[in-house]
Amino acid sequence: MKVPLSITNLQPQEIKLVSDSLKTGWLTHGKQNLIFENKFSNYIGVKYSVSMNSCTSALECAVKLLKKKGEIIIPSWTWVSTANAVINAGCKPVFADIELNSRNIDPKEIKKKISKRTVAVIIVHFGGMPCKMDDINKICKKKNITLIEDSAETIGGKYKNKRTGSFGIGCFSFFPTKNITTTEGGMLTTNNPKHFNYVKKLIAHGIQKNVKFPWKREAILPGHNFRMPNHLAALGVSQLRKLDYFNKKRNEIAKSYNKFFNNFPNIIETQSVPKNIKHSYQMYTLRVKKNLRNSFLNFLNKNDIEASVHFFPPLHKQKYLSKFNKNKLKNTEILMNDIITLPMSPHLTERQIKYVKDISLKWLKRSK
């Protein structure tokens, strides 16, 4: 049996939605984008949302909103797009260490890394687990630095009943492995009307719309073409309706995995979730003890279970990014050697979940 790391299951009615949108002849940014943005704003609990072609674009726009050059603190434990957005916007990434259980940036590390050159902090809610927002908000407000939330992996996650992406400038991904998909796509969220208006221009070649002369297209800033097509936004509207159900299924699968793997505390460490957190389980990760991670990963892969490692190597260990870091990041380096990502999707069948457990059990018995 093959068990994919992630499964995308678009329904016939969703394919029809895309087809119907294409048949209108409006193939670029259009009416469906406005519908998607409004519904997304209501869901997250913010005033404004801007749909675009990726979370990477949203992150770059978020940094460019600052209109400042300087240092931006980010975790090394993240996908490379977080650092790329900082560099491509003309700033310098400063890598911070994480907490082992949450896999999220450590607020104490943020404090340590702040300097006179710090202009922002980008936190990454890893795998569906929200960061410690009380502590992080307090630091950012005290130091008067901008908070950007990389919520690519945590659509629908909550910290104390407030959704991720509503604490600072939110950046979301709709890549096929995420909790909802538009195939490729992203969203930026904000409560600041100036930010909203700036980003709307930034993603559309920097052009300022002229109400009096709609044919006048004057670029007032060096923008990009970061727009999301209308038919993909139509898919986003449909997927957003299902998000809570998808996240419920993800939590049920995580609970089932936890119940099984908690029987092997000498080899496996599951992730604990604080009571004030709503995890969205974009990924399900474990820590494998006694330097056995690679053995477990290879065993699963040989048995057609698409387990993986997120993220190896971490950013401060990557060749072109290592120049931005001179310090050892202890927890990040521990995690890169013992973490494993198991298949997670609301579309996994009971049979597939049982197969993952059965194959894991074979390895666990052999590794005692």
Check if the beta carbon of residue 134 is closer than 8 Å to that of residue 162.
no
Q: What is the pLDDT of residue 297?
A: 98
Q: What is the pLDDT of residue 211?
A: 72
Q: Which CATH class is domain 243-367?
A: alpha beta
Q: How many CB atoms lie within 10 A of CB 59?
A: 29
For 12-239, CATH gives 3.40.640.10
Q: What is the pLDDT of residue 208?
A: 86
pLDDT in tens, the chain (368 residues): 999 999 999 999 999 999 999 999 888 999 999 999 999 999 999 999 999 999 999 999 999 999 999 999 999 999 999 999 999 999 999 999 999 999 999 999 999 999 999 999 999 999 999 999 999 999 999 999 999 999 999 999 999 999 999 999 999 999 999 999 999 999 999 999 999 999 999 999 999 887 778 888 889 899 999 999 999 999 999 999 999 999 999 999 999 999 999 999 999 999 999 999 999 999 999 999 989 999 999 999 999 999 999 999 999 999 999 999 888 999 999 999 999 999 999 999 999 999 999 999 999 999 87
Q: What is the pLDDT of residue 190?
A: 98
> What kind and span of H or E run contains 123?
strand 118-124
> What kind and span of H or E run contains 94?
strand 92-96
Burial class (CB in 10 A: 0-12, 13-18, 19+), 262: exposed
Q: What is the pLDDT of residue 341?
A: 98
Provide CATH 3.40.640.10 ranges for the chain.
12-239
What are the tokens at 291? 């330097």
Provide CATH 3.90.1150.10 ranges for the chain.
243-367
* Alpha carbon separation from 242 to 14, 96, 348 (Å, rounded): 12, 35, 16
Q: What is the pLDDT of residue 237?
A: 97
3-state helix vs strand vs coil in the chain, percent to 5: 40, 20, 40
Q: What is the pLDDT of residue 326?
A: 83
Q: What is the pLDDT of residue 59?
A: 98
Residues in the chain: 368
Q: What is the pLDDT of residue 215?
A: 83
Buried b vs exposed e over 149-182: b needs ≥16 C-beta within 10 Å? bbbbbbbbbbbeeebbbbbbbbbbbbbebbbbbb
Instruction: For the full predicted model, state whether its pTM sits above 0.85.
Output: yes
